[in-house]
Structure 1
Amino acid sequence: MHCSRLLVGLAACFSLPAMAWERVLIDADTPAQNWRVTSEELGIKADRPFSVSLRTLHGGRQEGVSLIDIDNGAMTLTVIPTRGMNVLRAQAGDVRLGWDSPVNEVVNPAFIELNGRGGLGWLEGFNELVTRCGYEWVGHPGVDNGELLTLHGRAANIPASRVVLEIDEKPPYRIRLRGELQEKAFKKVDFSIHTELAVEPGATAFSLHDTLTNNGDYPKEYQALYHNNFGSPLLEEDARFVAPVKQVSPFNDKAKGDLATWQTYRAPTPDYDETVYNVIPYADERGDTLAILHNKAGDRGIAVGFNTQQLPVFSLWKNTDTQGQGYVTGLEPGTSFSYNRRYQRPLGLVPSIGPKEQRHFDVRFQLLADKVAVDKAVKQVDSLQAGRKTEVRQVPLVDLSKD
């Protein structure tokens, strides 16, 4: 099975190669140092020459941040080991995947106080294309069981303990970047998260495969959400969100006002702030499903594939404020919506992981570079919908008026 298809059995995309070249980029005794390797230097005669480089940023609050650039010959991906192995941006030709945040530095977590701003300190570093949220909790800040839970957990601000680059020695010469995050606190949690980003030379697609392990001796609650963020050129007035939707509901009373147009977007609008919609998607028999954002003309877009057995729900975040404030939308598959954890237990959206157990999360991104690609992806969504109705709930799932 070839992984260039938009919707595939995700597990098939992660079979291990028989032989691969490997290099440890960051470890306890291997500090991040400027470094670069090319396909030519590795003796690989790929149709699209590629390179991988590691660099360190300096100045301001990005002092000491490591970046890894993967140029596969068709697309350049920038990954941030210092910030949860998040993907900062991707560039394929004249199409940028990412957005313009007022946070224009790649902020070192050492300069972020998550408890600040009433638990909204996470926003001081938020500017990535892909931001991992979790894994002990996700959602809006608030008190749960006597503890202040800050916005969207700690994962995005955990530096990777170990980073390894692996490149297959046989076609299609898949490039894998693996990282390890440690989310641990005495008496509280003992999680490790092994992340993997995979991309093939010449492709305009990439995939994430993350493994959460509970190293402790007791069952623990966990939550995960992938905050995938897109601005221009894909986001614009009358851009459209397309997915096979079983149920949609407004996140709060503000979102109720735009419920009739929840799948389309405004132009940058002063004082608009944001609206969020809770989505329960349809999927195929394996649990695979697809969400699409495309521009007004329908000739450019992004497809985000995920598995509902791993990530059963989806949040659509529409922040169509001014360009300077951050004109962006988030396509966010997760185990949970974005409510504080205490509100999600009654919804059955706070799963548990047993001692020494693992949970896997797969998310795939495919650039839709022309109208043919967009139309093909939309047709896949129609096939997943299969004529089934969408339930549109008029009221939020959670009453936040008492919060």
Structure 2
Amino acid sequence: MPDTDSEDELPAGWEERVTLDGKVYYANHENQATQWHHPTTGKKKEVKGDLPYGWEKKVSDEGLVFYVDHINKKTTYTDPRLAFAEDVKKNPYDFKQKFDGNSTAMQVVLGKDLTGTYVVVTGANSGIGFETARTLALYGATVILACRNLDSAEKSRQSILQERSQAKVEVMHLDLASLRSVKMFADEYRSKQWPLHLLILNAAVFGLPYTRTEDDLEITFQVNHLSHFYLTKLLWETLVQSQPARVIVLTSESHRFTDLSLDNLSEEKLSPTAGKYSDLKMYNVSKLLNVLFSLHLEKLLGMQGVHSISVHPGNCMNTSLSRYWWLYRIFFFLASPFTKSMQQGAATTVYCSVASELEGVGGMYFNNCCRCEPSKAGCDEDLAQKVWDLSEKMLNDRLQYR
């Protein structure tokens, strides 16, 4: 049976406490005894990481440790991290689900202090990307809004600063339809000598009429996959130097609805000609490429302290993703009462970005803040390797003319 929160309830007369080094123990007030194991479940727990954002640990003149919540102007002798204590895991891939499809990004990040964490979010000026950036910035992270539309990005930045004036938010230009722009963004980022702890590949396009980019690539393929592939490669060393770091790749359940395989993988399949183009089919292919990219990236970077996870934010959410065709706009609008809010849509991204139980693991696919199995093709490591190799070739073919 799965674990439930009710199992963690303490019997009468017991109290949960935490040592200064983060180990949880249990005090029995009836017999004046303490023990490391939960009196009901027998499990051990621990608290990890820094204090929540806005909290400070102090020591009184009598030598007693107490905690100050500067945001709410409160003081307590109880370590606030105790509310977020986790079971000591025997296997790093053991997860106890804490959140679901109704959870919001703000609920997921509660209790975290992201001060000193540097985050790049592509397509962060609206929708899920904005809520992801906003949530992380409000909890102390330095967030870079990597966007094509600088005016819209600046308005988003100002919106966050109005909510919390001390938030650290930067705007940088990034047009994923241009490999030249991707290179300029990476060069500028590296020139600032900032670390990079979270690279969130959020931006995507959907439902476009057939379009070739300046790099002579079908635009959905380039924006949704190849430019993010290129961006990650350019920031590779920065991620490794900043480790532990994570790459979060936004994909979709649509990745299940494509016939892409080892048998038909080709440049024309990934970047089709006009006569073989279907906007929906191309979107589905690009979303499978996202899953496979994340899978192989974990294989290459996981041992260097950089882990990659692919996530599905939600179905048919009323974001700007549908803006390119009036029929899609109507459909997404009509579906919106039955889908997630933007905050709920950002929850899985934020969870996979900050969850301490995911430290040191990657190569997984998450939906509704829960690890799920991707499609059979999405688990195919041979296909992931071939997609990586073909992406390298297609990228290098374009770059050699720069």
Q: Tell me the TM-score range normalised by the shorter chain.
A: under 0.3
Under a length normalisation based on structure 2, what TM-score does the superposition of the two structures give? 0.28
Normalized per residue, which structure has more strand? 1
Under a length normalisation based on structure 1, what TM-score does the superposition of the two structures give? 0.28
Normalized per residue, which structure has more helix? 2
Q: Which has the larger radius of gyration?
A: 2
